[in-house]
Amino acid sequence: MDLETEDRKDLDIPIDINFLLINVRGLFKDLVLYAIAKLGKAHGYAIRKFIKDLIKVYTPSSGILYPTLHELEKEGLLKSFTEKNKKVYILTEKGIEYIKNRIENIERTVKKLDKAMSILSYVGLKDLFNIIKELWDNDIEPSPDMLEIIKSKVSEIISILNNLLKNNLEYHRACNDLK
C-alpha cells in the first residue's frame, strides 16, 4: 500500500483534540463564551483552566485560545480591559444574549463530549492517539503489512459500533411504533 498515491480521504481524521476543536470552531467559541459567562470575567489562564476542568482531557493552547478571544471581541460578543497587568474578558450584551440562547445546547454538547472522551479513554483510544503521536514525533512509519493489520482491527471495531447503532435505532423505532 502506497500512502503517497492512495486516496487519502480515510486518513483525514483528527488524532488531536486541538485539531478537532479547531475544525469545530463554533463549539470552541461557545466553550470560551460559556467559560466567561460562568466566571463573570476572566483572563486567558482562567478560561483555559475552566475549559480543562469542564472537558477534563483537553486544555486549549494559547495559539488557539487567544486568536479565538480576539475573534470573539471583533464579533462584539466580548470586550477586554486591563486589570492588574492582565487582559481580562467579559461578555458584552450581545455575548450575554448569545449565551442565553445557546446555554442548553452548549451544556448538552459538553455532556456528550465528556461522555465521548470517557469512552475513548476507557477503550484505549487516548493511548492509541498518544502512540500515533509518538510515532509521528520520532518519524517512525508503520510497514504496509502493519497498516493492513491495523486497518482490519479498526474495521472490526467499526462493525461492532455500527451493530450497536443499528440495534439501538431499531429498538427506538419499535418503541415509537408502540406509542
- Boundaries of every domain in the chain: 17-125, 142-179
First to last CA, the chain: 52
| Residues sharing a CB contact under 8 Å with residue 21, sequence separation 6 or more, in sequence order | 27, 28, 31, 58, 60, 64
What is the architecture, at CATH level 2, of domain 17-125?
Orthogonal Bundle (1.10)
54 grid coordinates: 469542564
The owner of cell 479547531 is 22
Chain segment 107-162, per-residue pLDDT in tens: 988 888 778 877 877 888 778 878 888 998 999 999 999 999 989 998 998 899 88
Residue 65: closest CA among 47, 92, 89: 47
Amino acid identity, residue 61?
A: S
Can you tell me the mean pLDDT for 78-96? 95
| Residues sharing a CB contact under 8 Å with residue 44, sequence separation 6 or more, in sequence order | 62, 65, 66, 69, 87, 89
On whether the pTM is more than 0.85, the answer is no
Q: DSSP assignment, residue 14?
A: -
Chain segment 44-62, per-residue pLDDT in tens: 999 999 998 888 767 888 8
